[in-house]
Amino acid sequence: MKPLIAIVGRPNVGKSTLFNRIVGKKVSIVEDFEGVTRDRLYCDGEWCGCQFTLIDTGGLEIKSEDKMWRHIREQARIAVEIADAIIFVVDGKAGMTANDTKVADFLRTSKKPVVVAVNKLDNNETDNIYDFYSLGLGDVIGVSAEQSKGIGDLLDAVTENLPKSDEEVDEEVVNIAVVGKPNAGKSSLTNKLLGYDRVIVSDVAGTTRDAIDTPFEWNGCKYNLIDTAGIRKKSSVDEGIEQYSVMRSLAAVRRADVVLVVIDASEGMSEQDIKICGYVHEQGKPSVIVMNKWDAVEKDTFTINTFDKKMQGDLKFMDYFAPVYVSAKTGQRVDKILALATQVYEESKRRVPTGVLNDIITDAVIAVEPPSHNGKRLKIYYVTQGAVQPPTFVFFVNDATLMHFSYERYLENTLRKTFTFKGTPIKLIVRNRKEKDQT
């Protein structure tokens, strides 16, 4: 899992501009009035080989009791809570304010490493920088987000504070997040998997308000089960505790190694279930589709086949899905879940030898000729696996623009047909090979 860096600060200090500069694209909205960024925004970034996820937050007004500011403050608090390091953005032109001091006090209680980014130093002014050392938070770096000055020094300081790869997590522990709509039976399933009542079970939707971690062992392996709050439709989520519970559920997906998407089989797969699956897919997480309450479904010989066919239509974007039909109430097939979760986790870590990989793709190219445009045909020079979790394959070609999505899909299907990758997404990256290397 990539470490998380939260960007916080009072309103109108240029957090969103800095966020966009670091990730290299315009993701966060930038305006010259306060309160534009109200919710947290996530985007992956990289600096000198260090990969991370950046979280942008709304401007902090610590003492304001306005409903919007309370919401922004809670969003920022959650971001700080889950972050590994924090960038505290201040206004170098305006100088240090009383609100900066209040935010600094708030950050100090988190005990997270903090780097102070003194922004808006467009002309390399230094007079106001030294005042911010009095906050007592850590490194103070002068930057101009507008002009991209000092960003490298800032990232150097921040990434030094991130956990090293061997310190991030115990590699022997597999984090499994249990997600789904309210009242799909997530807590009952969690208790059944653990063998005892770890979380409250109720027929009232929304009983679980927070993500609950429970370490356990199974078949000699270590796991951490994360039970989460039900994820409602956005229009159905009220301001307040429930909204923050949903945010934590989505954060649990991001830090999971495997996700169990729990669906109420008695109701069938809904639009919200599909959206939850889509979020898991977008995060590149291996998953198991757990059709719960199977005891409440009227069945015949073909019922499972009917459900599978329905899912094939609903989940076209993740046709690698791995389903299991269970009843947390009766315990039916619950023992199959962890075995399947472990299998899809191992699939997400699968590495394919480069020689074997290129032989497979060469045969695929011979079988189906690559696309061409204006007389120029796509040439695939070689393929390498660049990463795992999810398995990521880099195709070096003569012209990446010639790679039609249908042919890319064909190549993905070829890889799946050969290596399965059950239950896990795979990622294909197409890059131009330099002309001097094409000879």
- The pLDDT tens digits for 249-271 are 777 888 899 999 999 999 999 99
Specify whether the CB–CB gap between 55 and 6 falls below 8 A: yes
Contacting residues for 297 by C-beta, under 8 A, at least 6 apart: 265, 266, 303
Q: φ and ψ at 36, to 5 degrees?
A: -70, -50
What is the DSSP code (8-state) at residue 371? P
Tell me the average pLDDT of the chain: 83
Do strands 85-91 and 114-119 pair parallel, antiparallel, or not at all (unpaired)? parallel
Least confident of 135-149, 239-253, 325-339, 368-382: 239-253
Give the CB-side neighbour count of residue 136, counting CA atoms within 13 A. Answer: 7
> Which range in 52-61, 102-111, 162-171, 275-284 is most confidently predicted, on average pLDDT?
275-284
- The pLDDT tens digits for 356-366 are 999 999 999 99
Chain-centre distance of CA 340, in angstroms?
A: 22
pLDDT score of 67: 56
pLDDT score of 85: 92
User: 136: which 2 tokens?
Assistant: 């007592």
Query: What gap in Å lies between CA 109 and CA 355, rounded to an integer?
Result: 52
Query: What gap in Å lies between CA 122 and CA 364, rounded to an integer?
Result: 53
Using a pLDDT cut of 70, give the percent of the chain over it: 80
Average pLDDT score over residue span 320-335: 95
Query: What gap in Å lies between CA 237 and CA 250, rounded to an integer?
Result: 14
Query: What gap in Å lies between CA 21 and CA 213, rounded to an integer?
Result: 35
Residue 203 has pLDDT above 60, yes or no: no
- The pLDDT tens digits for 370-397 are 999 999 999 999 999 999 999 999 999 9
Q: What's the pLDDT band for 167 if we cut at 50, 70, 90?
A: very low
pLDDT score of 1: 57
From first CA to last CA, the distance across the chain in angstroms is 38
Query: What gap in Å lies between CA 78 and CA 113, rounded to an integer?
Result: 16
Residues shown for the chain? 439
pLDDT score of 214: 82
From the list 354, 402, 409, the residue with the least C-alpha distance to 382 is 354
Handedness of CA 337, 339, 340, 342 (dihedral sign): positive
Q: How far is CA 84 from CA 6, 60, 143, in A?
A: 8, 19, 22
Q: ∠ at Cα 210 (111, 182), nearest 5°?
A: 155
Q: Is the pTM of this model over 0.95?
A: no
Q: Which residue has the higher pLDDT, 311 or 110?
A: 311
Q: What is the 3-state secondary structure (H, E, C) of 146-206?
A: CCCECHHHHHHHHHHCCCCHHHHCCCCEEEEEEEECCCCCHHHHHHHHHCCCCCCCCCCCC
Specify whether the CB–CB gap between 184 and 229 falls below 8 A: no
